Amino acid sequence: MTDIQIVLIQVLQSRAALLVAPMLFFSFLGQPEFYLLIIPLLYWCLDPRLGLRLGLIMGISGGLTIALKIAFHLPRPYWVSPDVQALGSHPSFGLPSGHAMEATTFWGLIAVAARRRWVWVAVTALVFLIGGSRIYLGVHFPTDVIAGVAFGVVILLAFLAFEEPVGRRVAALPLSRQILVAFAGSLALALASVAALAALGDWQIPASWAAGALERSGQPIHPLDLQNVMTAAGFFFGFAAGAAAAWPRRGSMCIVGKGSDHLLRYGFGISVAGAIWFGLGLLVPPDPVIAVYVAQYLRAAAVAAWVSYGAPMVFARANLMGRRV
């Protein structure tokens, strides 16, 4: 099965060499960084409720992606085959494809909210292209992508089933309890990966995988590292806790105004978010590991709290919210 998939990747790469740029573009549309540009735009400028839902589901799917990757601990194509070109490089395990999984949850939730057939068609095509780009770039087997879409569908359906009853119960709690629930949820996301890592026991990454990845991409791998899951968990906590504090004032969060108002608000908010992320990144220690994980968690939580709470409060006080709706 693996040999057949490698042959398929070889055929794609050899007979469609002109597709490198488009495939890199579609791959970017599945990057967490892209979603982190879109979520604030929706939350601050267009549809706060949809932005909130997307922020929560992306924190959940981002955290579970790492747990599943560690649980399956399978290689990427360019790690194991010298015949596959490494047109991209990633240090984590291959299955499931995080791009396919998160594209399914993110764009799928947008399609559910839009309730338009053409949106469903566009989202299906986009998820297909994002997943296909990962195969073409040599960073995923087709089975990785199929698994990513399948897990993404499960997460999306579970989110849709539980968001209303859980949301009502959480909203009825005092703010301090809501923040505690958000923290507990973020710990659950982190512990899922810790449990998957513990289940590996004394399993070791095959030396051939590390050597093959380094030889073909020039980048080392560290698939057992938990920094990404700490980032996802921190983002979930910061976003959920900030939204809990800001949501009672949601009437001041969504506006109908001039395009310049939206542009000013978004440009300022994203600039501050970037400054927080990169500024706190300078404070992340190189070691020990526990300190790195805690710092990464707090860094992501700070950025997410700025997006969900800090920025809307600054906009409101600076009279950048426009006409309230």
- For the chain, how many residues are written? 325
What is the CA 163 to chain-centroid distance, rounded? 19
Question: Mean pLDDT over residues 47-58, rounded?
Answer: 94
Average the pLDDT over each of 66-80, 128-142, 269-283 and give the range with the smallest value.
269-283
pLDDT in tens, 139-177: 999 999 999 999 999 999 999 999 999 999 999 999 999
Q: Which residue has the higher pLDDT, 210 or 2?
A: 210
pLDDT value at position 244?
92
Question: Mean pLDDT over residues 244-265, rounded?
Answer: 67
Across 78-87, 260-269, 297-306, the highest mean pLDDT is recorded for: 297-306
What is the CA 301 to chain-centroid distance, rounded? 14
Half-sphere exposure of 70 (CA within 13 A, CB side): 24
Question: Mean pLDDT over residues 254-267, rounded?
Answer: 70
pLDDT value at position 249?
56
Confidence of residue 284 (pLDDT cuts 50, 70, 90): confident
Percent of the chain with pLDDT over 70: 94
Q: What are residue 256's DSSP bridge partners? A: 323
Angle between helices 289-305 and 259-281 (to 10 degrees): 170
pLDDT at 259 over 90: no
Smallest Cα–Cα separation from 238: which of 316, 313, 311, 308?
A: 308
pLDDT at 30 over 60: yes
Q: Which residue has the higher pLDDT, 262 or 306?
A: 306
Confidence of residue 258 (pLDDT cuts 50, 70, 90): low
pLDDT value at position 254?
52
pLDDT value at position 126?
95
Domain ranges within the chain, ordered by starting residue: 15-324
pLDDT value at position 248?
62
pLDDT value at position 19?
87
Burial class (CB within 10 angstroms; exposed 0-12, middle 13-18, buried 19+) of 18: exposed
pLDDT value at position 257?
55
pLDDT value at position 246?
86
pLDDT in tens, 170-221: 999 999 999 999 999 999 999 999 999 999 988 999 999 999 999 998 899 9
Percent of the chain with pLDDT over 90: 68
pLDDT value at position 319?
64
pLDDT value at position 325?
36
Confidence of residue 316 (pLDDT cuts 50, 70, 90): confident
Q: Where are the alpha helices (DSSP H) in the chain?
A: 2-15, 20-28, 32-41, 48-72, 77-80, 98-114, 117-136, 142-171, 175-199, 207-217, 227-246, 259-281, 289-305, 311-317
pLDDT in tens, 90-122: 899 999 999 999 999 999 999 999 989 999 999
